[in-house]
Amino acid sequence: MLKVQIYALIVSTVILLGVLELVRSGRLKENYAVLWISTAVAMIFFSLFKNFIDKLGFLVGIYYTPSAFFLMAFLFLTLIIMQFSVAISKLTERNKTLAQELTILKTRMNALESGGVPDDKTA
Amino acid sequence: MPDTLIIIPAYNEGPRVAGLVSKVRSYSPGLDIVVVDDGSSDNTASEARSAGAAVLQLPFNLGYGGALQTGFRYALETGYRYAVQMDADGQHDPAYLEDLLRPVREGKADVALGSRFMGLGDYKATVARSMGMKLFGGIASAIIGRPVTDPTTGYQALDREAIRFYASEFYPVDFPDADVLIMLHKAGMKTIEVPVVMHTREDGVSMHSGFKPVYYVFKMLLSIFVTILRRNRFRKTGG
């Protein structure tokens, strides 16, 4: 096995174990762990079986194994970051809604506490 | 009981807001006013309250569109039939409130947009803003089928269906602009432009300044493009 394969194997395994520990201790949610685990497992596989990564590389015109390996890692990481962007978009929208609803409630509560009847024109 | 709410989003307008609220009240005594304090670091909220306006105080800054939308959510939940949005910096002349509300109250339109370029007043925009407005105004005109002279006006009167739309998830809070006009059209709502006077800002930092022109153009093009393609969107109901 090439030296670089051994290092790739070590790093991928460390990432896999790290992710599993984060999930176990509740600091990483399962749905975000799925892509990380897939990435780590794929990288372990590719570092063990050089032929597969070489063949994939040839398909797109890459003839240098480490480059093919990095390309695969890059694609997986892109997927992970895309998942984050989607999650952040949803969180931003919800955060905004919470701030707005909370503000309206505060105003109505203040009106109630200062003895007024809450404005309700639907009544 | 007033059936109309005037919504004024404000960020650090402490020195100006009480004067504005009084002025608005003098032109339209029968309407409710709410100032939405967008996480100001000064006394905007207390000043607005002392001038007699209702106040919605956001826990942190959401930006112009987010603050404005808070006002619309409040209008919707409270049951107002009509709403007017105006800026807190004094650029929108309150003398034109009734002109804006009239076509909406008469059922002639769902949204009346106050245009500063229809012959009243002498508002001068910078070259960059002019170009942006002509570009997106032109795109909006082509899609809506009527001339759009002021695509980015923040001085508008709305009926209940339009309020419902502005309060919904479909309203684009980061730069509500020509894309809103296109969405209104796609939702089946009627919009018209009404001539109003807008003044150039006397002092302080404009709410719309610090805007990154490149992001703005990119975001507008993307938003308009997506609106045309989007299937899941707001639709006007009986209202």
* ipTM metric: 0.88
B44 to chain A: which residues are within 8 Å by CB? none
pLDDT at B148 over 90: yes
pLDDT band at B235 (very low <50, low <70, confident <90, very high): confident
pLDDT at B48 over 50: yes
Task: Determine the average pLDDT of the residues in B23-28.
Answer: 93
Task: Determine the average pLDDT of the residues in A15-42.
Answer: 95
Is B235 inside any structural domain?
Answer: no
Question: Which candidate from A96, A103, A121 shows the least CB-CB separation from B1?
Answer: A121
Q: Quick check: pTM over 0.80?
A: yes
**Rounded percentage of chain B residues whose pLDDT exceeds 70:** 93
pLDDT at position B59 is 97
**Rounded percentage of chain A residues whose pLDDT exceeds 90:** 80
Residues contacting residue B99 through CB under 8 Å, at least 6 positions apart: B114, B194, B195, B196
Do B88 and B8 touch, CB atoms closer than 8 A?
A: yes
SS (H, E, C) B164-229: HHHCCCCCCCCCCCHHHHHHHHHCCCCEEEEECCECCCCCCCCCCCCCCHHHHHHHHHHHHHHHHH
pLDDT at position A42 is 94
Do B126 and B29 touch, CB atoms closer than 8 A?
A: no
The mean pLDDT value of chain A amounts to 91
Is B81 inside any structural domain?
Answer: yes
pLDDT band at A123 (very low <50, low <70, confident <90, very high): very low
Question: Which candidate from A93, A102, A103 shows the least CB-CB separation from B169?
Answer: A93
Is B82 inside any structural domain?
Answer: yes
What is the tens place of the pLDDT at every residue in B158-178?
999 999 999 999 998 888 888
pLDDT at B61 over 70: yes
pLDDT at B214 over 90: no
Inspect the interface and report whether the beta carbons of B79 and A122 lie closer than 8 Å.
yes
Domain that holds residue B158: 4-229
pLDDT at position B24 is 95
Is B201 inside any structural domain?
Answer: yes
pLDDT at A36 over 90: yes
Do A47 and A9 touch, CB atoms closer than 8 A?
A: yes
Rounded CA gap, B142 and B125, in Å? 23
Question: Which candidate from B32, B70, B173 shows the least CB-CB separation from A103?
Answer: B70
pLDDT at position B239 is 47
Nearest residue in chain B measured CA to CA from A93: B169
Q: Which of B47, B10, B9, B7 is nearest to B31 (CA)?
A: B7
CATH number at residue B110: 3.90.550.10
pLDDT at B213 over 90: no
pLDDT at A56 over 60: yes
Q: Per the structure, how many domains does chain B have?
A: 1
| B1 in contact with chain A, both atoms CB, cutoff 8 A | yes
Is B236 inside any structural domain?
Answer: no
Rounded CA gap, B220 and B226, in Å? 10
